[in-house]
Amino acid sequence: MLKNNLGYPRVGALRELKKASELYWSGQYGRDDLFAVARKLRLQHWQIQTDAGIDLIPCNDFSFYDQVLDTSLMLGNIPERYTPVLTQNKANTEIDLYFAMARGYQRDGLDITAMEMTKWFDTNYHYIVPEFVKDQQFRLFSEKIFDEFNLAKQHLQNTPKPVLIGPVTYLLVGKEKQAGFDRIDLIKKLVPVYIEVLNRLKGYGAGWVQIDEPYLALDLTQKEKEAYVYAYKEISKNCKGVKLLLTTYFESLHENTELAVNLPVSALHIDLVRAPHQLDHVLSLLPASISLSLGVVDGRNIWKNDYIRSLSHIKKAITALGKDRVMVAPGCSLLHTPFDLDLETTINPEIKNWMAFAKQKLNEVNELASIIDGDNELLQANIQAISSRNLSKLIHKHDVKQRTEAITDTDAQRDSSFAARQKIQQARFKLPLYPTTTIGSFPQTDDIRSLRARLKKGELTTAQYDEAIEKATIDAIRWQENIGLDVLVHGEFERNDMVEYFGERLDGFLFTKNGWVQSYGSRCVKPPVIYGDISRPADMTVRWSSFAQANTNKLMKGMLTGPVTILQWSFVRDDQPRSETTYQIALAIRDEVVALEQAGIKVIQIDEPAIREGLPLRKKDWAAYLHWAVRAFRVSASGVRDETQIHTHMCYSEFNDIIGNIADMDADVITIETSRSQMDLLSAFADFKYPNEIGPGVYDIHSPRVPTVTEMVSLIEKAANLLPAGNIWVNPDCGLKTRHWPETQVALVNMVQAAKQLRQLV
């Protein structure tokens, strides 16, 4: 039984690649310095996999920025606007072109925008979106895959396994940049380059080649299915002797099973962590010529593998296919897990014993194989760890479970309808037409960040820290009052991050020291770990919100992160459904909302920017997800009286297909991101006749550019043509924490001015 690995995190245990790339970008590192770090990391990662006994060790899974961008370069799919990067500056090489595509290029008199970036399926990893034009050409351009194979071959005992993104998935993750063609029709032009690459690899001595086609586990059109048949028939006809390992992950093959198993490849990989039920179906249809790689170790989470469960899959496959045709592997690339649990020295040892990061997961693959060969001791140790987790008092809180179970529809329901609440709130707040507000955070200046760093190091006492935060808060309040905003915020100066802040104050969460996961390019995130039943031992935000409210006669918004967003941006438990965990968070947030109301806060915002990104990959699963996600939000929001106004906020607002569910959240006010699309995104709300109040963002906070009054007036007018003017709020697209004060101040003065101008017209 071969032990297979699909991909390894590449940034390095101590984020070495991040540091090296940033030094290269700032000119402090030369090309050789950068390449030396990259080479060292590759060798290290191969060594770790060798030590873990992996047979099929991937190469070309390393990337300086992103594996989809690597593929674009391999295929010579380089948008024309980047040509001058090489021609205008002769000293530039492929790596500079590559980074220019990833990050834009502002040098040598050039100003070229970066390529678009978007999320890789339902992960938090962002890839660079391939661009396609009508007369698109492909040619073998970058030799990276060969260089990496040859380097690996020098250092590995087993023949390395090159990894590449398959042709159909490559087309589907991209975007047409011109009208009048369908990118899937480019398959005929694309396949010849793949054939060339595969034959070159064979020439260098490659055996197994992993070809990733995650799209096989998604909803496919007829034409896309035909593209699969065409591409793989052509490849098998023209690449004799290459052993293709067709790799799927993140979802079940489902109705595409027959298509997938009948493609002419040597092996198929399926993800049994995300989609265990597909095994029977696949086994029943798999032709005798194809081996099966079983993805049993979770590549998306940080929990120790449950060997009993994995072994049941493995044994079933061995019975059906024989040991020689079965491989064992993680479900997907380990790119999405942190590097090495051994580096964590502060996690409670009981909990640490339930966890596994990338390095430990390789070991799990190895151990599963040993257990199949009869090693019973390893199995017993695992059974013990798993049952200690199942029974641990650290996780299981009877009262939390009971309360979650007892949630009723009444708990998810405000006392009165929106129409009735709106009247009550209008009478209470007496806000002007087009009330102005902001989304919550104000600039997190270096001064503010350094306060937190100094507190952590013990250079500041808590009292000194609080005093400095109080001062920043009061300054922000005075300033908001002066420019005439209607509903104020306290500025979120006390928060490091909108999820971490709450995780640190809730029971059931833990934080790692080095649990970094690549988000995009050199950017890594360190998600909190939800390990147990969640409860709220004390108020989380009341101190700062009531301090802020006490310092102004204006309305002060309380500011919370919603349950779905907290779930979505954390590593979650795998021993209960996501919905269950979300409801637990929802109850904690509900208690905080009620506590804020009792402390005299009249307007409370519950941010839910991640609702949309939580959508399942398959449309058939959307309804179930949306049901509990929306209900959890409602549970968090419905503990208050009619007169208390609940806001929510969402960025990335492409809501066309879920607008009914957004309306169903029944927030009194929703603020959304719309300015970059010139209010186009608002049409979904208009078409739906969205009934509640809404603040479509009137300026883009992602750019330092200051919007003019006229611009914002016309955006608000546009919104007022689409929806009742009496329901419209005026606010920026999102929080201002990444901005600097100078541009923020001018922009908000202009924004208030725009609202005032429009009020005078009525």
The catalytic residues are: 702
Quick check: 327 and 3 in contact, CB under 8 A?
A: yes
Count of Cβ atoms closer than 10 Å to residue 565 Cβ: 26
Question: Pattern of binders to Zn ion over 550-589, x per CB under 5 A?
Answer: ----------------------------------------
Q: Which does 313 bind (CB under 5 to 8 A by kind): ligand GLN, Zn ion, none?
A: none
Q: What is the 3-state secondary structure (H, E, C) of 123-186?
A: CCCEEECCEECCCCCCCCCCCHHHHHHHHHHHHCCCCCEEEEECHHHHHHCCEECCCCCCHHHH
| Least distance (Å) between residue 734 CB and ligand GLN | 5
The response to whether 734 counts as a known ligand-binding position is: yes
Q: Which does 261 bind (CB under 5 to 8 A by kind): Zn ion, ligand GLN, none?
A: none
The response to whether 262 counts as a known ligand-binding position is: no
The response to whether 607 counts as a known ligand-binding position is: yes
Burial 593-620 (b: 16+ CB within 10 A, else e): bbbbbebebbbbbbbbbbbbebbebbee
Task: State which residue, 67 or 568, has the beta carbon closest to Zn ion.
Answer: 568
The response to whether 651 counts as a known ligand-binding position is: yes
| Least distance (Å) between residue 541 CB and ligand GLN | 11
Task: State which residue, 734 or 758, has the beta carbon closest to ligand GLN.
Answer: 734
The response to whether 441 counts as a known ligand-binding position is: yes
Q: Which does 58 bind (CB under 5 to 8 A by kind): Zn ion, ligand GLN, none?
A: none
Quick check: 340 and 14 in contact, CB under 8 A?
A: no
Distance in angstroms (rounded) separating the CA atoms of residues 666 and 130 = 38
Q: Which does 566 bind (CB under 5 to 8 A by kind): ligand GLN, Zn ion, none?
A: none
| Least distance (Å) between residue 615 CB and ligand GLN | 17
The response to whether 714 counts as a known ligand-binding position is: no
- CB-closest chain residue to ligand GLN: 735
Task: State which residue, 235 or 701, has the beta carbon closest to Zn ion.
Answer: 701
Quick check: 659 and 690 in contact, CB under 8 A?
A: yes
Distance in angstroms (rounded) separating the CA atoms of residues 674 and 700 = 8
The response to whether 439 counts as a known ligand-binding position is: yes
Q: Which does 306 bind (CB under 5 to 8 A by kind): Zn ion, ligand GLN, none?
A: none
Distance in angstroms (rounded) separating the CA atoms of residues 552 and 621 = 47
Task: State which residue, 290 or 650, has the beta carbon closest to ligand GLN.
Answer: 650
Distance in angstroms (rounded) separating the CA atoms of residues 346 and 336 = 22
Task: State which residue, 328 or 469, has the beta carbon closest to ligand GLN.
Answer: 469
| Least distance (Å) between residue 440 CB and ligand GLN | 3
| Least distance (Å) between residue 709 CB and Zn ion | 23
How many CA within 13 A on the CB side of residue 656? 4
Q: Are strands 326-330 and 2-3 parallel, antiparallel or unpaired?
A: parallel
Quick check: 440 and 671 in contact, CB under 8 A?
A: no
Distance in angstroms (rounded) separating the CA atoms of residues 125 and 121 = 8
Number of residues that bind Zn ion (CB under 5 A): 3
Q: Which does 329 bind (CB under 5 to 8 A by kind): ligand GLN, Zn ion, none?
A: none
Helix (H, G, I), strand (E, B), or coil: what is residue 290? coil
Q: What is the 3-state secondary structure (H, E, C) of 559-572?
A: EEECHHHHHHCCEC
Residue 340 has φ and ψ, to the nearest 5°, of: -145, 115
Residue from 85, 734, 747, 748 in contact with Zn ion (CB under 5 A): 734
The response to whether 119 counts as a known ligand-binding position is: yes
Distance in angstroms (rounded) separating the CA atoms of residues 369 and 310 = 11
Task: State which residue, 195 or 498, has the beta carbon closest to ligand GLN.
Answer: 498
Please report, for the chain, how many H helices and E strands are present, in that order.
28, 22
Q: How far apart are the first and last CA of the chain?
A: 76
Residues in touch with ligand GLN (CB under 6 A): 439-441, 492, 498, 559, 607, 609, 649, 651, 734-735, 737
- Considering only residues 599 to 658 of the shown chain, the ones binding Zn ion according to CB under 5 A are 609, 651
| Least distance (Å) between residue 671 CB and Zn ion | 8
Burial class (CB in 10 A: 0-12, 13-18, 19+), 136: buried
| Least distance (Å) between residue 682 CB and ligand GLN | 18
The response to whether 16 counts as a known ligand-binding position is: yes
Q: Which does 441 bind (CB under 5 to 8 A by kind): Zn ion, ligand GLN, none?
A: ligand GLN
- Minimal CA–CA distance to 196: which of 222, 234, 168? 234
Task: State which residue, 161 or 612, has the beta carbon closest to ligand GLN.
Answer: 612
CA 755 vs. chain centroid, Å, equals 35
Task: State which residue, 144 or 737, has the beta carbon closest to ligand GLN.
Answer: 737
The response to whether 55 counts as a known ligand-binding position is: no
Provide the annotated binding site.
15-18, 119, 124, 439-441, 492, 523-524, 569, 607, 613, 649, 651, 664, 673, 734
User: Which residues carry a binding-site annotation for L-methionine?
Assistant: 439-441, 492, 607
Q: Which residues are annotated as a binding site for L-homocysteine?
A: 439-441, 492, 607
Binding residues for Zn ion, rule: CB under 5 A, are 609, 651, 734
